[in-house]
Amino acid sequence: MLMMLLDSLFIDFNAYFASAEQHLRPELRGLPVGIAPLYTDATCCIAVSYEARAFGVRTGTMVYEAKKLCPHINIVEARPSLYVKLHHKLVAVVDSCIPVDEVVSIDEMACSLTSRWRDPGKAAAIALEIKQAIARRVGPCMRSSIGIGPNRFLAKTGTNMQKPDGLVIIQEKDLPHCLYGLDLKDITGIGRNMLKRLQTSGIHTVKELCAARKKELHGVWGGIEGDRMYARLRGEFVPCPPTRRSSIGHSHILPPRLRNQSGALAVLHRLLQKAAMRLRHLGYFASCLSAKIKYVGGGRWKDSVNFLETQNTFDLVRGLSLILQRRKPVVDAPLAVSVTLTGLLAAHNTTPPLFDRKKADRQAALFRTVDAINRDYGGRTVYCGSAHRAMHAAPMRIAFTHIPDLKTERD
């Protein structure tokens, strides 16, 4: 068998949102910090600094519980746009050391090791160079765990093996025993459902997972993804299905009766909800929304907003409302509108939970139901209240079906 070379370097920032606040607000450095979400009433920590983790506070701990565990904890409201800005800076710094292949999530990046960097000594050197460059050019708070391995899966797994400020190299000779210290849930691709299925099949530890036959994993995963897991655990190179799409959008030329402000807004909202349904259908999350209005006189308006990756219509509607609110008044009549979602991430690459896990799960279930109803009864059967209001404001009845009572929206 050919010797497996190192192939992948993966960076995962530690307690990203909490570190970001400590970076942005030096008075928080060295102190326990818990980040609470911005856009929800949820009172649950979405990130926790290592100083607070020492008291048992974790991502997902309710704020009141966090205060009990760690009475002097600093609860900070999340500032997503600043974290996104910082993220772009970090990507640029890493990219100046080694080309970034893929931005996997707001706090994760994957790089390929080529030619001489595949040597373990050289790979470790580049990892240290990245850490130093970040400390020097961004700040010492932005610590990361770097994993290096013969495939991206193992490199990413390496980032879970040493935190904070880790550097782990997994070579062929370390496999599979180096993985035995991990819990099954630390393995990328094993979510809560898969964990249950593995347990039902008698696989309770990573050691048992590594010992399982290919056929067995094929059965547990219910298909080729099980074969992929088998190969990844052995350090084989397994190409992922690429993120083919870069945007999802819709545009519409307004019929004469809708060439007014409220008509344009109603259609924008409707297009957004259609795009959101497609986003979920295709299995993506978006982190940027832009909207355009063309006016009869030839004028144009365009604006966009960045946010943490989401596939939740409520988040997207809030984004659209935000940019519409900051639009300057225009006298011309609108002629055409469009909505585009970009910054797409495949669902398996996103990092749950960014917000209150329970609420996120509930809302995901809600939209699965809404999408199913719209598929079965037509795309206009159920939609969000914001579009409803906008449509009520439209002077003429548009060809939208009346909104059914969507109690669940009042979360």
Residues of the shown chain interacting with Mg ion in the complex, contacts defined by CB under 5 A: 12, 107
Closest distance to Mg ion from the beta carbon of 149 (Å): 17
The torsion defined by the Cα of 258, 259, 261 and 264, in degrees rounded to 10, comes to: 60
Q: Which is nearer to Mg ion, 82 or 333 (CB)?
A: 82
**Nearest C-alpha neighbor of 321 from the set 336, 342, 307:** 307
Which residues touch 307 (CB under 8 Å, ≥6 apart)?
80, 81, 84, 287, 288, 289, 315, 319
Three-state DSSP class for residue 293: strand
Closest distance to Mg ion from the beta carbon of 166 (Å): 11
**What is the rounded radius of gyration, in angstroms, for the C-alpha atoms of the chain?**
24
Closest distance to Mg ion from the beta carbon of 87 (Å): 12
> What token pair was written down for 1?
């068998």
Closest distance to Mg ion from the beta carbon of 405 (Å): 40
Separation between Cα atoms, residue 398 and residue 264, nearest integer Å: 12
> What token pair was written down for 191?
């979510």
Q: Which is nearer to Mg ion, 10 or 367 (CB)?
A: 10
Closest distance to Mg ion from the beta carbon of 49 (Å): 12
> What token pair was written down for 395?
């002077």
Distances (CA, A) of 218 to 85, 137, 149: 41, 46, 24
Closest distance to Mg ion from the beta carbon of 47 (Å): 9
- The edge-to-edge listing of strands for the beta sheet with 47-48 is 47-48, 33-36, 74-77
- The DSSP 8-state label assigned to residue 44 in this structure reads B
Closest distance to Mg ion from the beta carbon of 20 (Å): 11
Which residues touch 80 (CB under 8 Å, ≥6 apart)?
38, 307, 308
Distances (CA, A) of 261 to 40, 57, 214, 365, 394: 29, 48, 59, 33, 8
Closest distance to Mg ion from the beta carbon of 351 (Å): 7
Which residues touch 141 (CB under 8 Å, ≥6 apart)?
19, 20, 22, 23, 29
Closest distance to Mg ion from the beta carbon of 176 (Å): 24
Q: Do 387 and 274 meet the contact criterion of CB atoms below 8 Å apart?
A: no
Three-state DSSP class for residue 89: helix
